[in-house]
Structures are given as structure tokens and as C-alpha cells.
């Protein structure tokens, strides 16, 4: 009878999804919750990795069999790494058609920069500073993901990162909280659209909450000892923006923040995220991070780890299985109140309702959509457009670029230059290995048929197995490829030399103490320069690199990051002038790794470098062997056009200041400029950065034309958080800087009272 009642209840619950408001969803959740047993509630907090192909028989090993049995009993809420329309339908059927209440599973996957059509890696996308472009890319990724049966991506990663040694800097939007907040909104809106139940949108997951990028020494998973000022003014703002953008879920992080493992941090997860910010989605732990509370030395055993994590607001357990084994007893013994469990389960069920999974658990498992949407020619074209805008022209001495398409001969050099795999980046989801358009291919596609294109490998970085989880195998390159490369360079009109990283040098678990060019790359560059001065360096990398010699000697340098499926064509479009480069760096490039962590929005200190420093005195905040300055600063990026700034006018307003500036395109080529606005609150109750980005606008200006650009800065832009997380705006002098980068700008000061 009970089964009949609950099935009837569920069938009532499956009223047409389209009309349901949040209030109606909450009612459905409450009535479903009231029908659930303790074991079924705990089941919703449990997420398994997909250990097998559902399209085949469930494997007979005990662990998988047990997992399959639990899915059938309704003791699993979600799964990671279950893919394809067919595979997700099989898994969903196990849960929906066998369990008592038929509650659907939610399927999650790491779609970090595309599902099968690869977009540029996120740090590349952020280099576009293009909200609409990044959103369009996320929409593409969402379509391919949803069409493959997956409901939820563990993206965007919005950890502000100052440290290029940290391999995961590649996954985020760089070093600035404001730009990262803008990108967070673009990614989330792109993934989620206006209706989560749309079968071509997916739930987003803002991660990693919080402080992960401040791992000491840039070493992944290391402790993060952050001040309140850093936490409140740098780390948290993008996550707050993610809540405001409607992120359906959050993921916490492996690190401890000032001694508290993030997974067990009730201040961050409950007081801030769910309390102050009113987040109504659910928090999933990072892979096994609940169990790692013991490894941190903060939980005495698994049950204690489960208690700490759940009490702290970690709603769903990714793959540690601690909730599966201990949560029911923790609730049964009263250690954890059932109300807390109900809150977590309600959050999970609410997202499942919003995804339309109760309406139709199989709505995303649609082979025909999968066939039409995934890896389509249309998607590749979109990816190429995003890749072009993600690339940053760092240097262009003597206007070597753009190259003429009728150039007689081009030497294309470097293992990275003909790789069809490296441009796909790490965290590549279902990308097909070696499916990218290589730089060499892109150049061959772009040039005149009479142009002679010759390739030479020049250097070799890695060999053998290259994948997400294993260390790379480095080749002991003794310069065997130099002779051929130098010959090819000598006889060519221009050289395009690809330098940088294997894509598996960045990403999770890929921190490096040295961020220079590995192997024989630098030596080869110097040798090539000796025989041909017309060298265009194309960088392929996931982190800022310390490349002072290249920066000094190369006449032209194009930062392309890992540009995705269409990388080669996008790069060629820029090299040959089919696209006027518009990217701007979201991170600072150092002269030397010793400058890390390096970021532009630094404090003045009590002893800033001033002209006394030039008199050979030492008591200033400096290095005796290196500059404080970046090699290439945050916000830097050249165009084939030339822009000039003047007529900066500041007008106080009721709650801030209006900023007017004239930007002129003094070249003969139309171009896009990202006009950046920085402020310095010169005297405040807490020391403030000498500059921080508060706004930017992208403007296209015709050759010889000018535009008046206006920014309206409000208290929201001019204030800061105190050490007790109170937002304040203080009277006083503000310096307003407007320009083409954090270093190249014009400025004016103004006294403001609020």
C-alpha cells in the first residue's frame, strides 16, 4: 500500500514542469521529502563515479555490484562521468525504474572548456574580456553536454590566482576579482540559460569554494593561509557574483583556509554562502575531500569527517562514500539533526526539479540531439571565433605582423607547431585526441598556394603517455633537431616558432617550481634568431611564463594559450590579418619565477620603490637582483590598430564619480580596444591596492575615428570589505586611471565624499 501511495505521490509530483514556479517546486520537494525514508534521504547526498559502461553488463566485481544495487534502491543521488545519451539512459533507468520513489539521478561532468568541441582553456577565454563571447562559448558547451545526456558541469572554476606556479591557473579567469566576477557571470549564464529544464542547458557549479588558488608556494592542494582582506576583497567576490548569477551548485575545495578544511568550513559554507548570500542551490564536495578532512588532521575518523562536513554545509559527497556509510547513523544518533539532512536533500531535489528530471528523467538522453549537436561544423566555427578573441598580441616590433598572405616562404618550427593535440588543452572532457587544427595546418590553410611552408620540429618536449592523471615523460633533448630547424629558418622569409608548454603541464596536480621554457626551446629560439631576425613567436601555454630573453629579442609574440579545436585557424587569422587581435592579459607575466606570486593590484607598502632606490640605497620594498615589475602586465594586449587616450574628465555624482575619456584610433585599421578603468583609494582605514580594476568596456573604433567613453562608478566600485566583512566606502582622494592596460593609462585624482 505504502509503495502505491508513494508512487501515486510521485506521479502527482510529475505535473508539467513548464508551469512550475519556485514556490510550486518547493511544495513538490516538501511532499516528496515527507515520503522519503532516512536511507532514501541519505541516498540523495551520495554521488558515485561512473565505474562502468552502462551500455554493457554491470561488472561483477563486488564494489561495482554494490554500487549498482544501491542505485536500484534509490541510495544514490548523482553520478559523475556517466556519459552519452545511451549510457545516461541506462543509468537513469536503474534508478528510476527500480527504486521505491523513482527519484532521478543527476549526472555531472567536468566540462571546463567544451564537451567535444574544444574552446580555448578558461584563462584564454578570460583573455578576450568579452562577456558575450565567453557566454556564447558556454552555451555551445552546454548544448553539447546536455545533448550527451549530462545535466551538470563542474564549471566555472573562479579561483582568483596570483601564482603562475599553480597549474590550475589555466582553469580560471586570472588574477583579478572583478574580471573573474564578470567571467563567472558569463559562464554561468551561458551554461544555465533562462530555463534549467531546457534540454540544451545545464546546471553550473561555481568552484572551488574557497581559497584554493592561494595554495602556499603555488603547490597544488597545499594549505592556504589568507588574510581577511584577501578572503573578502579578492577570493570571495567572484563567488558572490556566481550566486547573483544564479549558479545552481557550488563545489568546495581540497585546501584548508587558515587551518579549516574548506569542506568542513561552516563559516564559509553556511554563514557566508547560504546565510549572507542566500544561496539556495547545493554544495558538492570535491572528489574525496570529505575523507581528506582526516588527512588534514582535523577529523579523527570517517564518521567524524562526515559529521564535520555535513554540519558545515557540504550537501553532497563526491565519491568519498562517507555519507553513504555514516550519515544515517549520525542522524539516528542525533549527532546531526534530521532538519539539516532535510535541508540538504531539499536543495538537491530542487535542482533536479528545475532541471526537469522529475518531469522526464530521460529528457537529456536523446540520441538525435546528440547526433546533431555534438562536434558540429557550426560549433567549430563558433569555437574559432572565440579562440581568435582569446589571443593576445604581446609584442609587434616594426609591425612584422600581420604577415602578407603572399609571403614567399614560411618556416614553421617546434613540436608544438604541428601538434594536433596540445591545442586541446588539459581538462578536455570528450575531445578526440589529435583533433585540433594545428598551427602548421592553420598556416597552410591561410596562405597563397604559391607560398612555400616548411616545417621542422626543432625541439622535442615529451614522449609516450600524455593524459590527465599521469606525469609527463620529458625527452632529454640534446638539440638533435637544431640543424634542420636552423636550415629551414635560414631559407625562409619569415619564421613562425611555437614555444611554450605541453598542455599537460597545467591543470590539476601540475604545479611547477620553474615556469621558464622547458627543454631546448630557448636555445633553439636564440639559434634561429641568429639566422633570421623575422621570427614570430607563437606561445602555447596554460600559465604565465618567465620568458625575458624571448620578450627582449623576438620582434613579434602572440599569446594563444591552448586555443581549442580550431586553434590553428584562429592563430592564422591573426598572423595574416584576417582578425585584428584584441585580447588582453588576465594575468601578469613575470621576468622570473622568483617574483611569484605576482599581481598588478599590489599594496604600496610603507617603503615603496621610489627614486631613493635609484641612489643605490637598499631600504625599499624591492629585490636586489630583479625588478618588481611584470614582464607583461595585467591588461596588456596590442592591436594592429593604435589607440590614444586623452580628455579624461571626472565628475562627482551622488554616490560616486562619472568618468569620461576620449579614445582615438590613430591608425589606418579599424580595431577593438578594451578600455580599462582602475582606481586607487589613496587614504583609507585599511591599506588599499595602488590600483584595482573596477570597470571596462570593449569599443570598436574605425580608422582615424574617436569615441567618448563614459563610465559611472558607484559606491559598489569604490568601496571595500573590512576585516569583519563589512562593505564600506570612505571619503577621500581617489586616483582614477583609464587606459589600455594596468600599466599604460592616463590618470586624474578627485576628492569624493559619500
Which residues are tagged catalytic?
A: 286
CB-wise, 284 or 558, nearer to ligand GLC? 284
Among 614, 586, 654, which residue's Cα sits nearest to residue 176?
A: 586
Q: Please identify the residue of the shown chain whose CB is closest to the bound ligand GLC.
A: 154
Task: State the nearest-atom distance from the C-beta of 60 to ligand GLC, in Å.
Answer: 26
CB-wise, 25 or 318, nearer to ligand GLC? 318
Among 129, 127, 126, which residue's Cα sits nearest to residue 674?
A: 129
Which residues are within 8 A (CB) of 668 and not within 5 positions of it... i.e. 6 or more apart? 703, 704
Task: State the nearest-atom distance from the C-beta of 204 to ligand GLC, in Å.
Answer: 12
Task: State the nearest-atom distance from the C-beta of 206 to ligand GLC, in Å.
Answer: 11
Half-sphere exposure of 172 (CA within 13 A, CB side): 35
Do residues 519 and 479 touch, judged by C-beta distance below 8 A?
no
CB-wise, 111 or 663, nearer to ligand GLC? 111
Task: State the nearest-atom distance from the C-beta of 286 to ligand GLC, in Å.
Answer: 5
* Residues engaged in binding ligand GLC (CB under 6 A): 80, 110, 154, 207, 286-287, 508
CB-wise, 322 or 638, nearer to ligand GLC? 322
CB-wise, 305 or 447, nearer to ligand GLC? 305
In Å, what is the CA distance from 64 to each residue of 59, 60, 67, 104, 565? 6, 7, 5, 19, 35
Task: State the nearest-atom distance from the C-beta of 318 to ligand GLC, in Å.
Answer: 7
In Å, what is the CA distance from 28 to each residue of 22, 73, 280, 696? 10, 21, 16, 43
Among 75, 46, 39, which residue's Cα sits nearest to residue 328?
A: 39
CB-wise, 112 or 538, nearer to ligand GLC? 112
Task: State the nearest-atom distance from the C-beta of 368 to ligand GLC, in Å.
Answer: 29
CB-wise, 121 or 638, nearer to ligand GLC? 121
CB-wise, 115 or 154, nearer to ligand GLC? 154
Task: State the nearest-atom distance from the C-beta of 469 to ligand GLC, in Å.
Answer: 10
CB-wise, 210 or 737, nearer to ligand GLC? 210
Task: State the nearest-atom distance from the C-beta of 240 to ligand GLC, in Å.
Answer: 20
How many Cβ atoms from other residues are within 10 Å of residue 678's Cβ? 26
DSSP string, 199-257: TT--B-EEEEETTGGG-GGG-TT--B---HHHIIIIISHHHHHHHHTT-SEEEE-SSEE
Q: Would you call 59 exposed, middle or buried from its count of C-beta atoms within 10 A (0-12, 13-18, 19+)? A: middle
Do residues 435 and 414 touch, judged by C-beta distance below 8 A?
no
CB-wise, 95 or 157, nearer to ligand GLC? 157
Task: State the nearest-atom distance from the C-beta of 508 to ligand GLC, in Å.
Answer: 6
Could you tell me what percentage of the chain is helix, strand and coil, using 3-state DSSP and rounding each to the nearest 5?
A: 35, 20, 45
**Long-range interactions of 296-305: CB distance < 8 A, separation 24+:** 296/256, 296/261, 298/256, 298/260, 298/261, 298/264, 299/264, 302/326, 303/329, 303/330, 305/264
Report the C-alpha gap between 366 and 720 in whole angstroms: 48
CB-wise, 209 or 678, nearer to ligand GLC? 209
Cell digits for 715?
Answer: 559606491
Among 363, 350, 347, 362, which residue's Cα sits nearest to residue 198?
A: 363
Which residues are within 8 A (CB) of 205 and not within 5 positions of it... i.e. 6 or more apart? 108, 152, 153, 154, 155, 156, 247, 248, 249, 250, 251, 284
Where is 521: in which H helix or E strand?
helix 521-531
Task: State the nearest-atom distance from the C-beta of 347 to ligand GLC, in Å.
Answer: 18
Q: If you count them, how many residues does the chain have?
A: 754
Cell digits for 223?
Answer: 594549505
Do residues 349 and 29 touch, judged by C-beta distance below 8 A?
yes
CB-wise, 508 or 695, nearer to ligand GLC? 508
Task: State the nearest-atom distance from the C-beta of 168 to ligand GLC, in Å.
Answer: 8
Q: What is the largest CA-CA distance in the chain?
A: 90
Do residues 641 and 701 touch, judged by C-beta distance below 8 A?
yes
Half-sphere exposure of 406 (CA within 13 A, CB side): 0
Among 701, 702, 666, 673, which residue's Cα sits nearest to residue 581?
A: 673
Do residues 725 and 229 touch, judged by C-beta distance below 8 A?
no
Among 291, 228, 239, 231, which residue's Cα sits nearest to residue 261?
A: 291
Task: State the nearest-atom distance from the C-beta of 167 to ligand GLC, in Å.
Answer: 11
Amino acid at each position: 500500500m505504502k509503495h502505491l501511495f508513494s508512487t501515486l505521490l510521485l506521479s502527482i509530483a510529475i505535473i508539467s514542469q513548464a508551469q512550475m514556479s519556485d514556490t510550486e517546486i518547493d511544495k513538490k520537494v516538501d511532499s516528496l521529502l515527507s515520503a522519503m525514508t532516512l536511507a532514501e534521504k541519505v541516498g540523495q547526498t551520495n554521488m558515485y563515479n561512473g565505474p562502468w559502461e552502462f551500455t554493457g553488463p554491470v561488472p561483477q566485481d563486488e564494489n561495482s555490484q554494490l554500487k549498482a544495487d544501491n542505485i536500484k534502491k534509490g541510495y544514490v543521488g548523482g553520478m559523475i562521468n556517466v556519459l552519452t545519451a545511451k549510457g545516461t539512459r541506462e543509468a537513469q533507468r536503474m534508478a528510476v525504474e527500480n527504486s521505491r520513489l523513482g527519484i532521478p539521478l543527476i549526472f555531472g561532468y567536468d566540462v571546463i572548456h567544451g564537451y567535444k568541441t574544444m574552446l580555448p582553456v578558461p584563462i584564454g577565454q578570460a583573455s578576450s574580456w568579452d562577456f558575450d563571447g565567453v557566454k556564447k562559448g558556454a552555451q555551445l558547451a552546454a548544448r553539447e553536454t546536455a545533448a550527451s545526456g549530462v545535466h551538470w558541469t563542474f564549471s566555472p572554476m573562479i579561483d582568483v590566482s596570483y601564482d603562475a606556479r599553480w597549474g590550475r591557473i589555466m582553469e580560471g579567469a586570472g588574477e583579478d576579482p572583478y574580471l573573474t566576477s564578470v567571467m563567472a557571470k558569463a559562464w554561468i549564464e551561458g551554461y544555465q540559460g533562462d530555463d534549467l529544464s531546457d534540454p540544451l542547458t545545464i546546471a553550473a557549479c561555481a568552484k572551488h569554494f574557497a581559497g584554493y588558488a592561494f595554495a602556499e608556494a603555488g603547490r597544488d592542494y597545499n594549505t592556504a593561509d589568507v588574510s581577511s582582506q584577501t578572503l573578502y576583497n579578492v577570493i570571495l567576490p567572484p563567488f558572490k557574483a556566481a550566486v547573483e548569477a544564479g549558479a545552481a551548485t557550488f563545489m568546495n575545495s581540497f585546501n584548508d583556509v587558515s587551518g579549516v578544511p574548506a569542506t568542513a568550513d561552516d563559516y564559509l559554507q553556511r554563514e557566508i554562502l547560504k546565510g549572507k548570500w542566500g544561496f539556495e542551490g547545493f554544495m558538492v564536495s570535491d572528489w574525496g575531500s570529505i575523507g581528506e578532512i582526516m588527512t588534514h588532521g582535523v577529523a579523527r575518523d570517517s564518521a567524524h569527517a562526515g559529521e564535520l562536513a555535513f554540519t558545515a554545509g557540504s550537501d553532497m559527497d563526491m565519491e568519498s562514500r562517507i555519507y553513504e556509510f555514516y550519515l544515517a547513523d549520525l542522524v539516528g544518533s542525533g549527532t546531526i539533526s534530521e532538519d539539516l539532512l532535510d535541508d540538504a536533500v531539499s536543495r538537491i531535489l530542487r535542482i533536479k526539479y528545475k532541471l526537469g528530471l522529475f518531469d522526464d528523467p530521460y529528457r537529456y538522453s536523446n540520441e538525435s540531439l546528440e547526433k546533431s549537436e555534438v562536434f558540429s561544423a557550426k560549433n567549430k566555427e563558433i569555437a574559432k571565433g572565440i579562440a581568435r578573441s582569446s589571443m593576445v598580441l604581446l609584442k609587434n616590433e616594426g609591425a612584422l605582423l600581420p604577415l602578407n598572405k603572399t609571403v614567399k616562404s614560411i618556416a614553421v618550427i617546434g613540436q608544438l607547431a604541428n601538434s594536433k593535440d596540445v591545442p586541446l588543452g588539459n581538462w578536455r572532457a570528450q575531445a578526440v585526441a589529435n583533433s585540433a587544427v594545428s598551427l602548421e595546418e592553420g598556416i597552410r590553410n591561410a596562405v597563397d598556394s604559391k607560398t612555400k611552408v616548411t616545417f621542422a620540429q626543432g625541439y622535442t618536449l615529451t614522449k609516450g603517455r600524455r593524459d590527465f592523471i599521469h606525469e609527463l615523460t620529458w625527452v632529454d633533448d640534446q638539440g638533435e633537431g637544431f640543424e634542420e630547424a636552423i636550415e629551414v629558418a635560414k631559407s625562409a622569409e619569415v619564421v613562425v616558432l611555437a614555444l611554450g608548454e605541453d598542455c599537460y603541464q597545467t591543470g590539476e596536480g601540475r604545479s611547477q617550481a620553474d615556469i621558464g621554457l622547458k627543454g631546448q626551446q630557448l636555445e633553439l629560439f636564440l639559434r634561429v634568431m641568429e639566422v633570421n631576425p623575422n621570427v614570430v613567436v607563437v606561445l602555447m601555454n596554460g600559465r604565465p611564463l618567465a620568458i625575458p630573453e624571448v620578450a627582449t629579442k623576438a620582434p613579434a609574440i602572440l599569446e594563444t594559450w591552448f586555443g581549442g579545436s580550431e586553434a590553428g585557424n584562429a592563430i592564422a587569422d591573426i598572423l595574416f590579418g584576417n582578425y585584428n587581435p584584441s585580447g588582453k592579459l588576465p594575468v601578469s607575466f613575470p621576468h622570473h619565477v622568483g617574483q611569484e606570486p605576482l599581481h598588478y593590484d599590489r599594496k604600496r607598502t610603507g617603503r615603496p620603490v621610489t627614486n631613493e632606490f635609484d641612489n643605490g640605497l637598499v631600504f625599499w620594498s624591492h629585490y636586489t637582483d630583479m625588478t618588481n615589475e611584470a614582464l607583461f602586465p595585467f591588461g596588456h594586449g596590442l592591436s594592429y590598430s593604435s589607440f590614444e587616450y586623452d580628455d579624461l574628465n571626472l565628475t562627482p555624482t551622488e554616490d560616486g564619480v562619472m568618468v569620461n575619456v576620449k579614445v582615438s584610433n590613430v591608425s589606418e585599421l579599424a580595431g577593438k580596444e578594451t578600455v580599462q578603468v582602475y582606481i586607487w583609494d589613496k587614504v583609507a582605514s585599511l591599506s588599499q591596492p595602488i590600483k584595482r580594476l573596477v570597470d571596462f568596456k570593449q569599443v570598436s573604433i574605425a580608422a582615424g575615428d574617436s569615441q567618448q567613453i563614459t563610465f559611472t562608478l558607484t559606491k559598489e566600485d569604490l568601496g571595500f570589505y573590512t576585516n569583519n566583512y563589512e562593505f564600506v566606502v570612505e571619503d577621500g582622494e581617489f586616483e582614477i586611471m583609464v587606459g589600455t592596460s594596468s600599466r599604460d593609462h592616463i590618470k586624474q585624482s578627485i576628492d569624493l565624499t559619500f
